[in-house]
Structure 1
Amino acid sequence: MQLQLLPQTFAVCQLQDTSQINWQLPLYFFSKTADELSLVCPEADLPAAVLQCERGWRALKICGTLDFGLVGILAKISGLLAEAGISIFAVSTYNTDYILIKAAHLDKAVTALSINGYQITA
């Protein structure tokens, strides 16, 4: 399976409202629940007002469109990274999944995935 390393460094944030989000930018992951508003975005596009923010994440995108009937793709990747002692933040879209890893652990994550058959491109 092929993974693409995205070039940006990301931030995972909690927001009070959505007024400062520039929805025209190409890459945002947004979620809303009864308890919170969360945003994952490139650090360069981070809104000025956030309640909490965790910076320094890199993202691996699972290449291709994943059929909803597929089982265990994210579980396998997260399991390999867990065995290597690397925590993740996962984001799923309609078509695919993204695995965010702290930048400090990126080389170790790439090694763990590569030795287990994953091809990682930039």
Structure 2
Amino acid sequence: MHLKKLEQDFSVCKVEDLSKVNLDSKFCFIGKTDEERSVVCVTTDIPCNVVEREDGWKAFRIEGTNTDYILTKSDNYDRAIEVLEQAG
């Protein structure tokens, strides 16, 4: 397993709609349910129509055939990397 740390700070945001989300950003993850629309983005790329937001997230990716991205709170970031690297 090869982990790649992402240096950016991320935020999880609930938005009014997706019209102000910058889809040209390097990282942008969108979730939509019948109750809300959420965006995970680099903190400096937060859309202007945010209803709620939670800052303080970091991310890394597990590189492979299908790359997975993992978010963790900044306080737990180094520990999460350490545990996964030890687990192999």
Fold shared, TM-score > 0.5 on shorter chain: yes
The superposition leaves residues 2-44 of structure 1 with CA deviations (integer Å, 9 ceiling, x where unpaired) of 1111111100111111222122222100122211101000001
Residue number in structure 2 paired with 1:39: 39
Asked whether 1:106 is paired with 2:77, we answer yes
Taking the aligned partners of 1:56 and 1:33, their CA distance within structure 2 comes to: 24
Could you state the TM-score of these two structures normalised by the residue count of structure 2? 0.88
Relative to total residues, which structure has the larger strand share, 1 or 2? 2
> % of aligned pairs identical?
42
- SS of residue matched to 1:9: strand
Trace 1:1-122 onto structure 2 (pairs within 5 A).
Answer: 1-66=1-66, 96-117=67-88
Amino acid at match of 2:64: G
**Structure of higher CA gyration radius:** 1
- Structure 2 unaligned spans of 5+: none
What is the RMSD of the two structures over their aligned residues, measured on CA atoms? 1.3
Q: After TM superposition, which residue ranges in structure 1, 4 or more long, deviate above 2 angstroms?
A: none
* Structure 1 length-normalised TM: 0.66
The AA in structure 2 aligned to 1:6 is L
Q: For 1:7 and 1:107, how far apart are their aligned partners in 2?
A: 12
Q: Which runs of 5+ in 1 are unaligned?
A: 67-95, 118-122
Look up the SS of the partner of 2:8 in the other structure. coil
